[in-house]
Amino acid sequence: MEIDEREDEINLLDYWRVIIKRWRIIALIFFASVLTSAIVSLLMTPIYQAKATIMPIESSGGRLSSALRSLESLPFVGGMLPGAGGASASKLVAVLKSRTMAEDVIQALDLIKILFEEPQDEPPTLQDAVRSLSEMTKIADDKKGLISISVEYKDPGIAADIANQFTVALKKFLNENALSMAKRNRIFIEDQLKKVKEELGEAEEALKGFQINKKIVAMDAQTEASITALASLKAQLTAKQVQLGVIRQYATLSNPDVLRLKDELRELKKQLTKLESKGSNPEADAFPSLSEAPELGLQYIRLKRDAVTRQKVYELLTQQYEIAKIDEAKEDITFQVIDKAIPPEKRIKPKRKLNVMLAGVVALFAGIFLVFFLEYLGNIKKSEEEIEQGDKTIN
């Protein structure tokens, strides 16, 4: 054990002697590298970083959702439209990183002239500017609900302008490209309203024509009650079908809401079947069976039921359409600017002290490696000379 320790000490002393022997080489490499790094760092163009921070806003759905929940007399309305939740952070990050955003920012600030100040072999294009802007911009989601837009450029004022312009471009994009759920709701209701209005007009004309031709003016109260009940069920069934169609645009067949709506549709169809033809349900016995009505009466009942159903659906959609327009006017952005970018006072790079320290450490190790390599070459040469000298002595 003592012999091994001695050998280790001797080896370490040998290494130290090699370093002391050629310390000038190590010192020369060290100071040359440190000096070169310092000069290069001083000559490098200072780069500044400006950062803007935004926060996605989650909407509760506005007046439209509140109104739908409050319509207790029409239980089939609740949840008819998808919630107007704000855009998630991941979606906003994807939009901010898109080429469309970059082009909008470049054109708004005329960045082609700024980014390509020096003469170019060929006139720079918009795509060249997009690549340059992408290299100097970093969009990040901190996973806590905030998104940072960082821009690095040699001019601190321009860096701040670019970061702030991204927020302006994002707001413009969201508004113009109908990312607002309120706008989608309004468009959906508007289309349904036009369709139902046409169907209502046709149903009313058919009923009016039948009354004139057949000289039918009114019906008894019991039949009227039966028609009203049928119309309500039919309206509920139609609304549920529309609701399912809307949700299927956003959800899969295994979605709990989709499964729930299908169950409710089956139940409504059962109730409608029982009411249209007298069955064992005691509640259905309170109304005369439509199948037992005279032929003319049956035709009139069907026309009346269709008109009442269309009228109920039309009234419902009209209320929703007015509320949706108010929601759309209010819901024009889906994020809030937390920190506006300001021109930074201190550069982010080059980090001169760090560069000099790294250069010094690397040079130190490189110098030590070099002196050991030179020592190794010297030992080989010395060994060869000793061998040659030995051969001469033998001869």
Residue 188 has pLDDT above 90, yes or no: no
**Highest mean pLDDT of the ranges 5-9, 48-52, 57-61, 180-184:** 48-52
Where are the domains positioned within the chain?
A: 2-44+350-394, 49-62+86-180, 181-330
pLDDT digits (tens, 9 = 90+) for 329-369: 665 557 889 999 999 999 888 887 888 899 889 989 998 89
* Interatomic CA distance for residues 244 and 263, integer angstroms: 11
Residue 285 has pLDDT above 50, yes or no: no
For residue 387, give both structure tokens: 């061998």
pLDDT digits (tens, 9 = 90+) for 366-389: 988 988 888 888 778 776 666 666
Identify the CA nearest to 169 among candidates 115, 103, 125, 111: 103
Identify the CA nearest to 242 among candidates 252, 234, 230, 231: 234
* Interatomic CA distance for residues 86 and 157, integer angstroms: 31
Q: Which distant-in-sequence residues (6+ apart) come within 8 Å of 230 by Cβ?
A: 272, 275, 276, 290, 305, 309
What is the reported pLDDT for 129?
Answer: 92
Average pLDDT over residues 297-320: 77
Residue 36 has pLDDT above 60, yes or no: yes
Range in 28-32, 69-73, 172-176 with the lowest mean pLDDT: 69-73
Question: What residue type is assigned to position 172 of the chain?
Answer: K
% pLDDT > 70, the chain: 72
| The CATH fold of domain 49-62+86-180 | Alpha-Beta Plaits (3.30.70)
pLDDT digits (tens, 9 = 90+) for 134-150: 999 999 988 788 999 99
The overall average pLDDT reported for the chain is: 76
Identify the CA nearest to 160 among candidates 170, 151, 148: 151
